[in-house]
Amino acid sequence: VLEPAALGIPVVIGSSYYNFTEIVRAMRHQDAIMLIENSQQLSLFITSLLRDDNHRFAISKKTTAFVAGNAGALNKTLKGIEEHS
């Protein structure tokens, strides 16, 4: 999920993301991921990306901003644990 986001590629997922629940929730909160429930939604979303450069660019900015905003999360977590240990 994060690899395409880091490259500014729009991220599209289906309804089964149980291994990535927290990251998907955080990305959805920032509109940095699109949850697709059926093939019609997928078709409409991809068509909109192909036809609308501004839409594609806006999503790209959201995905890269999400990754940049969460960079170093492991180090922040470890530092917090060390401070409270």
Contacts for 66-73: CB closer than 8 Å, 24+ residues apart: 66/5, 66/26, 66/27, 66/30, 66/32, 67/2, 67/5, 67/6, 69/30, 70/26
Return the CATH number at 66: 3.40.50.2000
Whole domain around residue 38: which residue ranges? Answer: 2-83
The string of pLDDT tens digits covering residues 33-71 is 999 999 999 999 999 999 999 999 999 999 999 999 888
**What total of structural domains would you count in the chain?**
1
**Model-level pTM?**
0.79
Most confident segment among 2-6, 56-60, 74-78, 79-83: 56-60
